[in-house]
Amino acid sequence: MQNADPVAVVGAGIAGLTMALCLARQGFSTDIFEQADALDEVGAGLQLSPNASRILTDLGLLPALQDVWSEPDSIALVDGRTLRPLTDVPAGANARSRWAAPYGVLHRASLQKILLRAVRSEPLCRLHLGKRVEGDPVAAVAAVIGRRPKVVIGADGIWSQTRASIDGAGGVRFSGNIAWRLLLPGVEASTRLSASRVTAFLGPNAHLVAYPLREIDGFNLVAIIGGKPTAAAWIGQDSEERRREFAAAFENWHRDLRSMIENAVSATYWPLCTVDEGAWHNGRDLVLIGDAAHAMTPFAAQGAAMAIEDASELAHCLATCADPPAAFGRYEHARRARIARVRNRAAFNRFAYHARGPVRVARNLVLALKGPEALAADLDWLYGYDGSERR
């Protein structure tokens, strides 16, 4: 595909902004369309594993990331009822050495601001805010930019409007899990938490992940529990009923963890949904990346990372293939197996993290026997992934 061919990206979240920057590095001029009038990232913390930070480093963003993120020394697994340490995976300097890229944690809004600043500084990127792309995405984009784009890339998330224009695309499905995100001020943090560690507390039918956020001088808490689907998000103190349901999921956990949850602020509640297997492109001029294509549960903390990997791979394919259909085919071939493997890992983690009874005992024994080095080796395929080496 010629670099002069117009390309459009729908969605200016992490996926869309990364996509535009990756295209710019390949010499493509890109129009990015975002329905919101201003970019205000929702959510709280974000884990950037080495497979994602490697790509952001290649885009020249590492110095900006290092100004705001933390690089934890380890990822610890702890029993949520007894607070007994189960095992830990070395990160920090070990991540840079083993996987040749850093493992960082930061606020999602911080990453979006860094990406947005880079996009606005890139002459090949044009951002259109307050522009909702409806109906035929190609025609809608053409009406704004005055010419028909060669490619439209749907990076508009799990509730993608772009996906609706692709025959055979996957549908959205509730996963059976509910996520809560909370922020814990540093003064309220238990001594069980450390600014140098990501900690995953495991328990029956629930788990809680905690890691530091420099931006708030505190911790991000992500709790995932089993639950029923709901169309509404709960923010702050708007629903005492939802709060009671949340508290009930941790009623048999250690009192220190229950106290942390009670003292946390900015609680946001929403159902976790996935996108089923289906078509990622129309074979002509429309293609999906990130959650729009393959939203998955967060049990492997890879949602943003997969979108970042998608962006890098698709930009390369568009730059090296003669036409969009060939590029889409190569992109899909490169990404399908990878996404399937990460989905499987997330499903395994859910089973292991939420185990109860004899399965929980067996899990703890296996973790103790494997040890940190073996657990790190189990992640080599995930964190050590470098798509550029496979091309």
Active site residues: 211
DSSP assignment of 14-35 equals HHHHHHHHHHHHTT--EEEEES
Residue 242 tokens read as: 């939802």
Q: Are 200 and 208 in contact (CB under 8 A)?
A: yes
DSSP assignment string, 262-314 = HH-EEEEEEEEEEE-S--SB-SSSEEE-THHHH---GGGS-HHHHHHHHHHHH
What are the helix (H) ranges across the chain?
Answer: 14-25, 50-58, 62-66, 93-99, 108-120, 137-145, 240-248, 255-263, 291-294, 303-320, 324-353, 357-378, 380-383
- 95 in Cβ contact with 71 (< 8 Å): yes
The C-alpha torsion from 68 through 383 and 300 to 238, rounded to 10°, is: 10
**Residue 7: which of 35, 29, 27 has the closest Cα?**
29
